[in-house]
A and B are shown apart, each in its own frame.
Chain A
Amino acid sequence: MNDEKSPETKMNRREFLGLSALGLGISLAGARPAAAARLPAPDDVAILYDPVKCVGCRACQMACKRWNKLPNESTDPLRIYESPRGLSAITWNIIKLCRTEVGWHFFNYQCMHCTDAACVAVCPTGALSYDPMGFVSLDRNKCNGCGYCTQFCPYGVPHLQVANPLTGAAKSAKCTFCQDRIWAGIGGPSCAEICPVSALTWGKRGELLEKARARVTELRAKGMNARIYGETEAGGLHRLSILLDEPEQYGLPSVPKTPGLARAWQRVIQPLGTGVFGAILLGILGAFLFVRRKIRMEEVR
């Protein structure tokens, strides 16, 4: 290398270092922070459902619709016990009828507000997020309608309100723990507030767990095979339930296993892309700077 060329080389090196730092920066920015390893705090808010107290009056469904201004939904007139058919974009709370070993039971189905939520993990917009109080909140303004949450939730809770099936214009919808009521300090979730028999109650998660344990002891003394669902499932749910049979009898997964693929997407596939593109870009940059010194266009035919 002759003297004339050396300043150019120096520039190259500086460029190279600068651009490498940029590449590295992009790679690091691409790595999503590890999902909340937080445990549900006793001070978190939660809902407790006791199916033994529930009389299936559906006041919770009505209260949910009224507070959240959700329209009516047509239903199957032959299915009088479950109406509407299930959760949808305009039905966020529903009483299901479940057959268990000990007979027919009502079961209130709504968002479980997981601590380790698949929907939050896959949401590309941050519309679904963890509220500091523990529940999974939904900001419809941020939602772009991609619908990943509807496909990754192990409970099948979020639903898309589709405006146009062809363009994909849509908004996700699900129980928000009546986040507007909570944030405004008006009170708790409208379903729990209205329940006339206290089958649905809300409060601090730690206190509700104690209440649930006492209730389980009481029900077991009466000979029922009672258990708590939601203490540890999916990192700990903020919708606790007392069950009298296996979770499957209530349409609940024993081990909500979906976050596996959501995690794979978040922790393997996304960093993989970042790594691959970072490596290729750095390689190209290196090749570019190397080749422009080694191969001269004047000599190329």
Chain B
Amino acid sequence: MTVQIKGRPEAIAIQWIPKYTFVERLGHWLHTATFIPLAVTGMALYFPFLQPLAQGEAGLFLRMVHRIAAVIFGLLPIVYYVLQPRRFIMHTREFLPRKEDIGWLKAAPAYYLLGKHEAMPPQGRFNAGEKMNGLVMIVTWVAFGLTGIPMWFGKGVIPPELFRWLVIFHDLAMIVAVGMFLVHLYLAVAHPLMWAGLVSMRFGVISAEYAAEHHAKWYYGPQRAMEIWEAKKQEAAQH
């Protein structure tokens, strides 16, 4: 699809290619809309300086919000699987680590801090950083469920010793998930090179130029992407 502004066809002509389905985008934003309340209401019980928020009726309300949000947060991936099972499986598979991720991670600091893109090996639909984010989200989603559900329904049923460990692991999962979320939020909202991410999460599309540059293995296919990358490297070496 090409977007053109009337009267000035030469000014902006961006070719867009689809990246996320409507269900994926809605799921992403519902996940955001439940993750943030979950983190905020949970932290009221976690950080001593938030103690006034946790007391009495306010605390009861926070705990109820936590549970309502938890139900939606927990069901979203399942709904996604039911609605678009093939996309779900494809998506999850793409998060699995590969060999070239190491090269990407090595080149990442120069890329993110200085904008140097040359050393970045070609990536698929998700780069190694996005994969890390995805894997952390999957693992912590499972951990939140495995620890949270027994804490909700098992109090007084499961042994107290187990409950104590559940509290600790729920908190550890929170530290990992919120830590990752902060980085994710910064990259999505504030980092100049990542502007395309927010666009594709809003409209479901990505500019072809951006995709060719940042997700070459997805855009060109693995073989062609490697050929282009090797050619570029040789060219750079000659100069």
Decide if A301 touches B213 in the complex (CB within 8 Å): yes
Partner of B47, one of A30, A122, A144, A291: A30
Decide if B168 touches A261 in the complex (CB within 8 Å): yes
Decide if B195 touches A300 in the complex (CB within 8 Å): yes
How many B residues are at the interface, by size bracket? 35 or more
Decide if A125 touches B55 in the complex (CB within 8 Å): yes
Residue in A closest to B155 when the chains form the complex, CB atoms: A147
Decide if A269 touches B171 in the complex (CB within 8 Å): yes
Given contacts A287-B186, A295-B192, contact A146 B175 (CB under 8 A): no
Partner of B46, one of A141, A270, A280, A288: A270
Smallest CB separation, B31 vs chain A (Å): 20
Residue in B closest to A167 when the chains form the complex, CB atoms: B64
Q: Which residues of A contact B190 (CB under 8 A)?
A: 288
Decide if A280 touches B67 in the complex (CB within 8 Å): no
A residues 154-188 with Cβ under 8 Å of B? 156, 160, 166-169
Decide if B160 touches A156 in the complex (CB within 8 Å): yes
Q: Which residues of B contact A281 (CB under 8 A)?
A: 182
B191 within 8 A of A: yes
Q: Mark A258-293, 1 if CB is under 8 A from B, else 0.
A: 100110110001101110110011001001101110
Decide if B186 touches A124 in the complex (CB within 8 Å): no
Decide if A301 touches B209 in the complex (CB within 8 Å): yes
A152 within 8 A of B: yes
Most interface-central of B167, B172, B178 (chain A CB within 10 A): B167
The B contact surface, by secondary structure, is: helix
Q: Which residues of A contact B132 (CB under 8 A)?
A: none
Smallest CB separation, A204 vs chain B (Å): 32
The A contact surface, by secondary structure, is: helix
Smallest CB separation, A180 vs chain B (Å): 18
Q: Which residues of B contact A145 (CB under 8 A)?
A: 59-60, 63
Decide if A301 touches B168 in the complex (CB within 8 Å): no
Smallest CB separation, A216 vs chain B (Å): 32
Partner of B186, one of A126, A152, A277, A288: A288
CA distance A86 to B48 in the complex (A): 33
Q: Which residues of B contact A264 (CB under 8 A)?
A: 168
Decide if B55 touches A142 in the complex (CB within 8 Å): yes
CA distance A295 to B187 in the complex (A): 14
Partner of A261, one of B63, B165, B183, B191: B165
Q: Mark B39-82, 1 if CB is under 8 A from A, else 0.
A: 00000111111010011101110111001000000000000000
Question: Which residues in A have some Cβ–Cβ distance to B below 8 Å?
Answer: 26, 29-30, 32, 122, 124-127, 141-148, 150-152, 156, 160, 166-169, 258, 261-262, 264-265, 269-270, 272-274, 276-277, 280-281, 284, 287-288, 290-292, 294-297, 299-301
Could you give 7 example pairs across A and B, Cβ below 8 Å? Answer: A125-B54, A125-B56, A166-B67, A280-B183, A288-B186, A291-B192, A300-B195
Question: Which residues in B have some Cβ–Cβ distance to A below 8 Å?
Answer: 44-49, 51, 54-56, 58-60, 62-64, 67, 112-115, 152, 155-156, 160, 163-165, 167-168, 171-172, 174-175, 178-179, 182-183, 186, 190-193, 195, 209-210, 213
